[in-house]
Amino acid sequence: MAVVVGALFAASVYMMLRRSLVKLVIGLILLSNAANLLIFTVSGLTRGKPPLIPEGMDLPAGGWADPLPQALILTAIVIGFGVLAFAVVLIRRAYEVVGEDDLDKMRSTDL
Interface with other proteins (CB under 8 A): 16, 21, 24, 28, 31-32, 34-36, 38-39, 42-44, 66, 68-69, 72, 75-76, 79, 82-83, 86-87, 90-91, 93-94, 97-98, 103, 106-110
Give bridge partners of residue 102 from the DSSP assignment: 20
CA distances from 105 to 22, 58, 84, 100, 108 (A): 14, 63, 23, 7, 8
Shortest Cβ 58–other proteins spacing (Å): 16
Shortest Cβ 44–other proteins spacing (Å): 7
CA distance 41 to 39: 5
Shortest Cβ 72–other proteins spacing (Å): 6
Containing 47, the helix (H) or strand (E) segment is none
Please identify, using beta-carbon distances, which residue of 55 and 104 lies nearer to other proteins. 104
Please identify, using beta-carbon distances, which residue of 3 and 55 lies nearer to other proteins. 3
Please identify, using beta-carbon distances, which residue of 61 and 92 lies nearer to other proteins. 92
CA distance 96 to 92: 6
Torsion of CA 7, 8, 9, 14, to 10 degrees: 90
